[in-house]
Structure 1
Amino acid sequence: MNIIINNKSMQPIYEQIVESIKSMILNKQLPEGSFLPSVRGLAKDLKISALTVKKAYDFLEEEGYIATIHGKGSYVLTINRNLAYEEVKKEVEILMEQALTKARVNQLSKEDVAMLFQLVMEDTYD
């Protein structure tokens, strides 16, 4: 499993793991029924604490993305892709609102914000 951790990020490591696995599930890189690496195995691969991986797996389980069978491991559940897509859209909306609030507080013009948005879109969606 290809998960990249950014130790310089302000985002907690367990959240980075959650986002990576969610993305892999939504993009069908991790199909339903596929097993995730063990908590200890992933912790060893990522060179982080097993407790951090456990926290990420617990969060994914609470969100309905995975299930865990004691002694067998964690596997990907069948998810409602439309519901998951709406969840992602809501998360993006919240982040955009936060960015716009920061821009407004710092008195950036609508034109500057639109230009920045266009630049980021071009860099991201090439």
Structure 2
Amino acid sequence: MRWRNLKVIISNASSDPIYIQIMNQIRQSILNGELHAGDSLPSIRQLAKDLQVSVITTKRAYEELEKEKLIDSVVGKGCFVSGANKEFIREQRMKRLEEKMIEIIQESQEIGMTQQEVVDYLTLLYEEEQQS
């Protein structure tokens, strides 16, 4: 099953509650494209056992992800990555892309590149990537 590739790591040093840590890591896996619509997630009990946390904790994380429409629960079958919230996922990925682009702009300004040089360089890389 695909969920076996899901890596959730609980940090006792984190100020975030455990259910938030679980939620954030599953959300990131979905937004990063590591988990796709229709992929199954571990059962609430299995995830709790694997992470050595309370079933209530994993249940809360899943409930919150379901409220965000990132996962769906199917009675008797389990939890799955939702296919219904593609626009939200796209928007979140666009936001992350924007942050990376801002870093690129700042770095390019630090080394004295002009806007046109950045655009030309990006165009070149884009075209090379399409050919590979």
Distance in structure 1 (CA, Å) of the matches to 2:75 and 2:85: 25
- CA drift at 1:27: 1.1
Q: Report the count of equivalent residues.
A: 92
**Equivalence for 2:35:** 30
**Equivalence for 1:19:** 24
4+ residue runs over 2 A deviation: 79-90
Using the size of structure 1 for normalisation, the TM-score is 0.65
Residue number among 48, 63, 68 corresponding to 2:68 in the alignment: 63
- Percent identity over the alignment? 45
Distance in structure 1 (CA, Å) of the matches to 2:82 and 2:13: 31
Aligned residue type for 1:16 = Q
Distance in structure 1 (CA, Å) of the matches to 2:35 and 2:50: 18
Contact 1:26 1:81 in 2 (8 A): no
**Gapped runs of 5+ residues in structure 2?**
1-5, 100-132
Query: What value does the CA root-mean-square deviation take over the aligned residues?
Result: 2.2
Q: Please state whether the residue corresponding to 1:74 is helix, strand or coil.
A: strand
Distance in structure 1 (CA, Å) of the matches to 2:44 and 2:27: 16
Distance in structure 1 (CA, Å) of the matches to 2:79 and 2:85: 19
Residue number among 3, 13, 17 corresponding to 2:8 in the alignment: 3
